[in-house]
Amino acid sequence: MLKGKHIILGITGSIAAYKAAYIIRALVKKGAEVQVVITPAGKEFITPITLSALSSNPVISEFFSNRDGSWHSHVDLGLWADAMLIAPATASTIGKMANGIADNMLVTTYLSCKAPVFIAPAMDLDMFAHPTTQQNLDRLRSFGNHIIEPAEGELASHLVGKGRMEEPDKIVATLETFFDESMTLKDKKILITAGPTYEKIDPVRFIGNYSSGKMGYALAEACAARGAEVFLVSGPVSLQAKHPSIHRISIESAEEMYQCAMDVFPSVDAAILCAAVADYRPEMTSAEKIKRESTGEMTLKLVPNKDIAASLGQIKMADQILVGFALETSDEVHHATDKLKRKNLDFIVLNSLRDQGAGFRCDTNKISILDQEGTLTEYPLKSKQEVAVDIINKLVSRLK
């Protein structure tokens, strides 16, 4: 996918700059031509000799050559590129890019670049979490730049948290997927349900569940990153949708989620039903706060909610794909097979609460995918972001 592609690799002043050497090697191995542009601070961390030897191209850093007065054209470079990748991207460079502070060759090249831009941040956890950095990243996202989220782990400071630049093989895989026409979701519309639903008992109490929404939001980001327009119908969660192509529709109850999903579904190519929908709601909702003194012992009568997945399965058109989830505690494959059929799903993502690191509130998940043809594919324990990619790869193959 990268054969013959022209890639500008921007390197900035971070400890992770050494990983840029691995990125160049992988890109060159896959047939890409790499032109390195490095900031003055970047050269403190890795030498241009290493980078030029690996890329077989002189490294560009300054606007002018001191020796002969020749100058590098950031405009030509920007036009030459099929993609620009900034890895590692420091908080400072991210800030300059977001605000057009073009005081070095890297940022001027970025501003001249018409090709898609990928940014792999690398910094300490507090710098990454700082509202300034997050706002700058949001701004870059809103310009259509692709942010390759940093991973969690040990940082150069020996603190542990989010801020470690993503591993070189994953960064290169992101570019490969982007250029792989067969993996794209461009021009596709995807409905995703995510999070829990809250079923109201009275103005201050509800029946809910432990769903954090992390899996659904990871799916939404991954679909949007592949070029899809995403309609994210979300129950109450503390997460935010970042990609500008995600339209978040916030709901609270299963009934609201049902109405929303039914409205949106006819206009989408696929729906992924990731929400932990409450199966029951209180038959009556009290308009006033229920008082202990006057109520005494209390019995709550529950009535079933509509099954959103099954309802969409009934109205599904031949060219639409419907994906469900099954979180089970026992007899997993049997229950998943039953749900697949009952809800008319194309495939179902199964996770078992018996597997450590799977299910609610975790950052990881261990899934199996069971499709209509009866094929069961098992995946190892992965981050929810990586799981989202596996699910979307399966979706893309069905959408063709």
CB of residue 237 to ligand CTP, shortest distance in Å: 14
394 annotated to a ligand binding site: no
Burial class (CB in 10 A: 0-12, 13-18, 19+), 295: exposed
171-210 footprint of ligand CTP as x/- string (CB under 6 A): ----------------------x-----------------
Catalytic hit among 209, 344, 365, 393? 209
366 annotated to a ligand binding site: no
DSSP annotation of 196 reads: B
C-alpha to C-alpha distance for 346 and 312, rounded to whole angstroms: 12
Q: Does residue 251 belong to the site contacting ligand CTP (CB under 6 A)?
A: no
125 neighbors 114 (Cβ within 8 angstroms) = no
Q: Which stretch binds ligand CTP (CB under 6 A): 93-101, 147-155, 270-278, 392-400?
A: 270-278
Q: Does residue 223 belong to the site contacting ligand CTP (CB under 6 A)?
A: no
Q: Does residue 309 belong to the site contacting ligand CTP (CB under 6 A)?
A: yes
Q: Does residue 321 belong to the site contacting ligand CTP (CB under 6 A)?
A: no
Asked if the bond preceding 88 is cis, omega within 30° of 0, the reply is yes
Alpha carbon distances (Å) from 383 to 3, 110, 121: 29, 31, 18
- Supply the Cα-derived Rg of the chain in whole angstroms: 24
Q: Does residue 260 belong to the site contacting ligand CTP (CB under 6 A)?
A: no
Which residues, 6+ apart, have CB-to-CB distance to 292 below 8 Å?
A: none
61-100 footprint of ligand CTP as x/- string (CB under 6 A): ----------------------------------------
Nearest to 106 by CA among 72, 154, 134, 68: 72
Whether 209 is catalytic: yes
CB of residue 281 to ligand CTP, shortest distance in Å: 10
Q: Does residue 324 belong to the site contacting ligand CTP (CB under 6 A)?
A: yes
128 neighbors 150 (Cβ within 8 angstroms) = yes
Residue 336 in tokens: 């998943």
User: 277 vs 389, which CB is nearer to ligand CTP?
Assistant: 277
Residue numbers belonging to the annotated binding site for CTP: 279, 289, 325, 339, 343
